[in-house]
Amino acid sequence: MAKNKVKISERRKFFTDIAHHVGLGTMGVLLWAGYTQKAKSSPLTLRPPAAIDEKDFLKTCIKCGLCAEACVNRPQNFDKEGRKKPGTIKMAKAQDDVTIGTPFFKPRDVPCYMCEDIPCVPVCPTGALDINKVTNPKTKELDIRLMDMGVAIVDVHSCIAFWGLQCDACYRACPLLDEAIKLVYNRNDRTGKHAFLEPKVDPDVCTGCGLCEKACVTEKPAIFVLPRDVAQGKVGDHYVRGWDKADQQRVGNRKETEIKTKDERSKQAPADYLNKGLEY
């Protein structure tokens, strides 16, 4: 029996203690970080006006709900009988597909009415909603048209205007009438005497308020707002509008020699790949 007795030396105890703490700490970090990484992923979320870039927004939003409270309690949000209507900005609950506790809105439920005094933004204590984003740099006045919460997208298959029916519900609901959504007239070849009145969104003007999505007459809206980084592509540096100085600046003032245009394929001489069966 004596041989089974292990003497626990101070040294052994010291190293086992360290391993114990490091091991438990690592377990905690891995579990917690794994959950948090998942919990912060909600790419289709529409944030309140003047929200900073989503990645920074998640860092900076303290989840206090002051924006949501300013939204729902604004004086314009009462109906004729003096009853309060639901606010646009909601605080995410655990069951919403949005990082818990962060503010968001769903335009089909309650769109953003683009209040001119923007009550939701100045109350933000952390700067997650950045008042500078909705302040006109020249006049220093708040300008709700500067916000870019998202951009409206039209599904041409379910939009009845593309069937040839005259709808224009979204066009008339748009607070930037005939600027953010324009109606494009196209000839209807099926009847030969009517026109399609097709809605077309100008993403440079559209603020993503979602009044069009709310107004859309189809069962599931044929026009809907998506966050800009989801809805829009990016040209990158490969294509530049050479005739536009501003576009040249977008790419930066790189020297021509710094632009890399050669790749593996460029090493080979132009080949007659059809006849010689060359593969790249």
- Chain residues binding other proteins by CB under 8 A are 21, 24-25, 28-29, 32-33, 35-37, 39-40, 55-56, 58-60, 62-66, 68-69, 72-73, 90-91, 93-96, 99-101, 123-127
Q: Phi and psi (nearest 5°) for 47?
A: -95, 165
Beta strand 103-104 pairing with 90-91: antiparallel
Nearer to other proteins, 24 or 235 (CB): 24
Nearer to other proteins, 61 or 206 (CB): 61
Minimum Å gap between C-beta 37 and other proteins is 5
Nearer to other proteins, 131 or 146 (CB): 131
What is the distance, to the nearest Å, from the Cα of residue 203 to the centroid of all Cα atoms in its chain?
A: 13
Minimum Å gap between C-beta 84 and other proteins is 8
DSSP 235-249: --SS---TT-HHHHH
Nearer to other proteins, 35 or 273 (CB): 35
Minimum Å gap between C-beta 46 and other proteins is 18
Residue with tokens 């790249």, as numbered in its chain: 280
Minimum Å gap between C-beta 133 and other proteins is 13
Nearer to other proteins, 61 or 197 (CB): 61
Q: Supply the DSSP symbol for 254.
A: -
Whether 74 contacts 145, CB under 8 Å: no
Q: CA-CA distance, 102 to 93, in Å (whole number)?
A: 9
Minimum Å gap between C-beta 190 and other proteins is 49
- Residue 211 corresponds to which tokens in the numbers above? 């009044």
